[in-house]
Structure 1
Amino acid sequence: MNSLFISFPGDLHGHLEDLLLIFYKNGLPSSDKPYVFNGDFVDRGKNSLEILLILFGFLLVYPNDVHLNRGNHEDHIVNLRYGFTKEVLGKYRVHGKKILKLLQMIFSWLPLATVIDNKVLIVHGGISDTTDLDKIACVDRQKYASALRPPKMKVHGCMTKMNENREREACGQVEGRRRVCSLTYQSSAPDHRQDLPRRSLNNTPVCSKLDLSVDEKLNRRCRLSGFDQARCELKKSDSYLESKTTETDLDEWKQIVDMLWSDPMPQNGCIPNEVRGGGCYWGPDVTEEVLRRNNLQLLIRSHECKQDGYEFCHNRRVITIFSASNYYEVGSNRGAFIRMGPDLVPHFIQYQASTTCRELTLRQSVGWTERSALKALREQLFVHRSDLISAFQEFDPNNKGMISVTHWASTTERVLNLGLPWRVLRPQLVSSTQHGMMDYQQWIKELSITEPKLEISDNSILDTMYKNHSNLETIFRIIDTDHSGLISFKEFHQTWELLRSHLKTEISAKAIADLAQSIDFNKDGSIDINEFLEAFRLVDISAHN
């Protein structure tokens, strides 16, 4: 189906709580909810490895719906300096070096860019005045384990025009499906589902002329970035550095460095990025030219922390998206990700992980799977409530309605025979116990309540909005006046003040405030689209009960 939204998170940098918060707000990756993660999964944060395991797991389960672009930190030399190498060796003391070697190979195979519907380019760093997407699409990227050193010496032939055309025709040209093309990503057999297509370009090198300044320029950039010592250490063990690289290798290497390390600037032109020591600063004129030449309309990149989690530049043709909140310190910045539908209009969802939010996120992340399982389990318990009551009464001879938690666990297993650790699950299934005893009759009554109840002092507000339940997303966007993807309490209050005046209805300010706080399920001080829709789903349940 062509109506699917695609989501684009930016840098995560080991901030597991931000990834889990994205999943909580937006849903887990699936065939109905595709994601393009735009690099820099690792370094700086303490949970880089956990993020990789989660993303790789989803990539294996949904290879056509989860895309992982490479960032400048998906580089084993950079990892030596910024923490990921130390994290892996600390967590895997026996096999850490083998894991790092495997990850080095995986990083080198990650796509350098992704294209949506042939109109939106997603790349981690950026572009330059020499960016050539055809060359990027043909790079033999396994040679470039690090963008901070020359590739291995190999002899490569040029791809013929006939083979190039054949490969381009094989890149998922399936009519009626949206195109998500990972440049330099070699896909497996094409997926013929009619939901979201994936096409990939071949990875064969393209010959080019030698630019004599490239080697010196990149060596200088490496020195400026502080990795010259690491490169010298690698020279001791890697004999290929003693050989000269080919003309094609140098040109490809420069293309890769520019895409991974570059930043936009407000002035026209393209100059070396002296601050980072790699890539370039490129101006709006370069953006216009590269987008025009490739018939694109928008460039999405990451690579830079932004206070609001995102930022437009270059006449709104370039978006920077950054997903690691509290990057420098707690409160320093919000994180954000992009949702984009078939109209290719970006919608921004912002968030900021806090101590409270982190606890909720960790619970509910396990939550998206766990909550569904618990809901199904409660339904099973409720279906067998008569058998359970009869079995519980065996341990309640005086008919006081109380049994021990131990008897509850053993009896529940005997009735349902599911082989579950009921004592471990007891906190999620039993609301209260006293001195190891529980009120099983009250518990049976509570089993039918599988969702949180809204405590709202004035249901007339929800009744008014529920009449427009088929247009809830439109209503959400109307209330979200700053188009941030979140409704602040102030926006919510202002909207209802206007509605109260228009409807000539008496609705107290306290009722509006109570409603906003009730819909804010995760208590982060704002209402996202999932919380908004969930509130009305609960109202619908209440209306039918």
Structure 2
Amino acid sequence: MATRLPSAGVDKSAAKIQAAFRSHQARLRLKKQAAWKMHEKLEYASEQTESKLKDMFDRLLKASETLSPSVAKLLQKAGLPVEEKELLKSTNPDSIPVESSYRGPRIDGPITRKTLVDLIEAFQQGQNGLPSTDNPYIFNGDFVDRGHNSVEVILLLMTSLVLYPSSVFLNRGNHEDIMVTVRYGFQNEVIQKYSARKGPIIDLFKDIFSWLPIYSYVETGAAKIIIIHGGISDKINLKQINALTRNRYVSIEVPPESRGGGKRLTPEEDNEYRQIQDLYWSDPDPQGRKGCRKNDDRNIATFFGADTTRDFLAKYNLSMIIRSHQVKPEGYEYTHDRKVLTVFSASNYSKGSNWGAIVRWDYNEPEPWIISYKTEPVEMGKLSFNKQVTLFEDPAYHSLAEKLMTNKNLLLKEFQNADTNQTNHLSLTAWSQIMSSVLQVDLPWLVLRKKLVEEDEQGILYDTLFDGYQLD
């Protein structure tokens, strides 16, 4: 049997329920407002990035001759070989007519993160800025066959090279090879985008590829580095490589004709050709074996061991080999006692889930620092309960997690620089200032810290910011 409560008791209970409900609704509204502000700030950060990208390429394309030598000035330089003069004349943008019927891609924007995103990351990550004498870039090959915008990528790189000839350097990769592009998509892309003039354009790219440098040599003040697309072998003779005529090797898969006119190479020519193959196609031995042996994985070039690296570096007084050529889960990998650094800049390669990376080596620094990036969402791993609840509460936090992992290396570098006593701790103020500065997002970091990091009486344990996130 139901007992009727006194009227006063009912009113009091109803008032409590209504108050609790209103309090709950108020908390929900505040939570939604906070989440929306995070969404806004993250969204605005992306829009600002897009705006910066367009401004960057506008400046790149409108750069005046005062920034770097023009082709005309280079042609006046004394001592240029005849071949180099002819190459410069044929690539002088002032003398290349554009037909009114041209319907191919034009480098006039809008440039967005959805277009050429990994190339753009190289200019943007860590506020690297545009190329200059004090801020040179080396792109280490495989500019094509890395997505549906290979034509635009190579055109932007060529534009950069013409505008900044003393600050942009393009090493040839194994995909800058007319035979390889047939199989991996670049030639089909050219045919689809330039169906009416596909033959001359493919021939032009073939010539450009054959003239690209084989390797770069860099002195950082504290180190001497050789940057090669593939690798080395015990055959490599840099003196011989420096003296060869690069454009003989239109394809690295197919040997050139002999200088004597026949198809059969002399022993000396065959040795030179094998060296070229090794420089573009070799890999560090995956089983850690010594010496050099046939690269069975690629059926071309060699696997080289740590002893081959050591001997090569000692012979040429070098500190390190930086190479590319192989996809790596985190975008980079050290091997051979950290004397070989592999860097792969195309994230999500071939519909995979790898990260991309670029290497920055500041003058007089003994080691490089590596910036990883990715254009796909970061999945959660074994997160703390607090982080799991946080990320499931609202997708804004998931967006923030992606931004954190994209900037992981730069954040760690700034945290460690600020941690002068190497305690793995930072003050709340120092930590929040670095978060705002690196991520370029003004969020209430002091409020959010409990959902992102651990802390104790000494301050923020900054390493815990990345605990539990997977690179996937």
Corresponding residue number in structure 2 for 1:516:
435
CA distance in 2, matches of 1:522, 1:135: 52
What's the TM-score, normalizing by structure 1?
0.49
Call closer, same or farther: CA 1:87–1:62 in 2, change over 3 Å.
same
The match for 2:452 is none
* Residue 113 to residue 522, structure 1, CA distance change in 2 (3 Å): farther
1:254 alignment partner, one of 254, 274, 283: 274
* 1:96 Cα offset (Å): 1.6
Match of 2:312 in 1: 290
Unaligned runs of 5+ in 2: 1-113, 379-404, 446-472
Q: Secondary structure at the match of 1:86?
A: helix
Q: Distance in 1 between matches of 2:377 and 2:332?
A: 23
Note the alpha carbon deviations across 1:258-282, whole angstroms, 9 max, x for none: 0000000222111110111111000
Asked if the contact 2:411–2:434 (Cα under 8 Å) also holds between the matched residues in 1, the reply is no
Cα distance between partner residues in 2 of 1:497 and 1:288? 35
1:267 maps to which residue? 289
C-alpha distance 341-516 of structure 1, shift in aligned 2 (>3 A): closer
1:147 matched to 2:252 = yes
1:164-179 to structure 2, matched below 5 A, reads none
Paired amino acid for 1:99:
I
Which residue of 2 is the match for residue 22 of structure 1? 122
Q: Distance between the aligned counterparts of 1:514 and 1:496, measured in 2?
A: 18
Q: In structure 1, what is the equivalent of residue 45 of structure 2?
A: none
- Secondary structure of the equivalent of 1:122? strand
User: CA offsets, 1:73-94, max 9 Å, x none?
Assistant: 0000000000000001111111
Provide the rounded CA distance (Å) in 2 between the counterparts of 1:345 and 1:491: 15
Aligned to 2:371, the other structure's residue is in SS state strand
- Residue 52 in structure 1 maps to residue 124 in structure 2: no
Indicate the residue corresponding to 1:308 in structure 2.
330
1:422-472 deviation per Cα after TM superposition (whole angstroms, max 9, x unaligned)? xxxxxxxxxxxxxxxxxxxxxxxxxxxxxxxxxxxxxxxxxxxxxxxxxxx
Q: Is the CA contact 2:411–2:435 (under 8 Å) kept in the aligned structure 1?
A: no
Aligned residues: 294
Distance 1:135-1:486 versus aligned 2 partners, 3 A rule: farther
Deviation at 1:44, TM superposition (A): 3.7
The residue matched to 1:94 in structure 2 has which SS?
Answer: helix
Distance 1:59 1:498 in 2: 44
Identify if the C-alpha distance between structure 1 residues 284 and 90 changes in structure 2 by more than 3 Å, giving closer, same or farther: same
Deviation at 1:488, TM superposition (A): 9.7
> Paired residue for 2:362, among 322, 341, 349?
341
- How far is the alpha carbon of 1:30 from its aligned partner? 2.3
CA distance in 2, matches of 1:67, 1:292: 25
2:264 to 225, 228, 244: 244
RMSD: 3.5
The answer to whether 1:353 aligns with 2:272 is no
Equivalent residue number for residue 240 of structure 2: 135
What residue is the counterpart of 2:200 in the other structure?
Answer: 98
Aligned residues of 2:174 and 2:229 also touching (Cα < 8 A)? yes
The partner residue of 1:484 within 409, 417, 421 is 409
Residue 63 (structure 1) aligns with = 165
Asked whether the equivalents of residues 372 and 408 of structure 2 are also in contact (C-alpha less than 8 Å), the reply is: no
What is the CA distance between 1:483 and its match in structure 2? 8.7
Mark the CA change 1:275 to 1:483 in structure 2 (over 3 Å): closer, same or farther: same
Shift in alpha-carbon separation, 1:292–1:489, aligned structure 2, 3 A: closer
Alignment of structure 1 residues 408-447 onto 2, 5 Å: none
Residue 308 of structure 1 and its aligned partner are, at CA, apart by 1.1
Letter in 2 for 1:520: L
What does the per-residue CA deviation read over 1:109-139, in whole Å, with 9 as the maximum and x for residues that have no partner?
Answer: 1111111128211000000011111111111
1:33-75 CA-to-partner distances (Å, cap 9, x unmatched) read 1011100111141111111111111111111111111100000
Aligned partner letter, 1:114: S
Higher mean displacement: 299-308 or 117-126 = 117-126
Partner of 2:425: 498
Matching residue's letter, 1:327 = Y
The DSSP-based 3-state class of the residue aligned with 1:484 is helix
Q: Distance in 2 between matches of 1:243 and 1:328?
A: 36
Does the CA contact (< 8 Å) of 1:124 and 1:302 recur in 2?
Answer: yes
1:154-165 alignment runs, 5 A limit: 154-155=259-260
What is the CA distance between 1:518 and its match in structure 2? 7.7
Which digits, 9 at most, give the CA deviation of each residue in 1:465-515, with x for residues without a partner?
xxxxxxxxxxxxxxx9x9933449999999999344xxxxxx59xx96798
Q: Which amino acid aligns with 1:40?
A: D
> Contact conserved, 2:414 with 2:434, CA < 8 A, in 1?
no
- The Cα offsets for residues 168-190 of structure 1, whole Å up to 9 and x where unpaired, read as xxxxxxxxxxxxxxxxxxxxxxx
Instruction: Give the Cα–Cα distance (whole angstroms) in 2 for the partners of residues 492 and 345 of structure 1.
Output: 14
User: Which whole-Å CA distance do the structure 2 matches of 1:79 and 1:522 have between them?
Assistant: 41
> 1:315-353, CA deviations, whole angstroms, 9 ceiling, x for partnerless residues?
1111001111111436x1111111112325211111112
- SS, match of residue 235 in structure 2: coil
Per-residue deviation, residues 398-419 of structure 1 (Å, max 9, x unmatched): xxxxxxxxxxxxxxxxxxxxxx
- Pairs within 5 Å for 1:165-204: none
CA separation of 1:56/1:89 partners in 2, compared to 1, >3 Å: closer, same or farther?
same
Deviation sequence 1:140-166 (CA, Å, 0-9, x none): 1111100111112323xxxxxxxxxxx
CA distance in 2, matches of 1:52, 1:256: 22
Contact 1:347–1:483 (CA<8 Å) still a contact in 2?
Answer: no
Tell me the distance in 2 between the aligned counterparts of 1:518 and 1:340: 21
Contact 1:38 1:70 in 2 (8 A): yes
Alignment check: 8 A CA contact 1:15 1:48 kept? no
Shift of 1:32: 2.8
The answer on 1:36 being equivalent to 2:36 is no
User: Which one of 79, 99, 103 corresponds to residue 181 of structure 2?
Assistant: 79
1:336-378: CA deviation from partner (whole Å, max 9, x where unpaired): 111112325211111112489xxxxxxxxxxxxxxxxxxxxxx
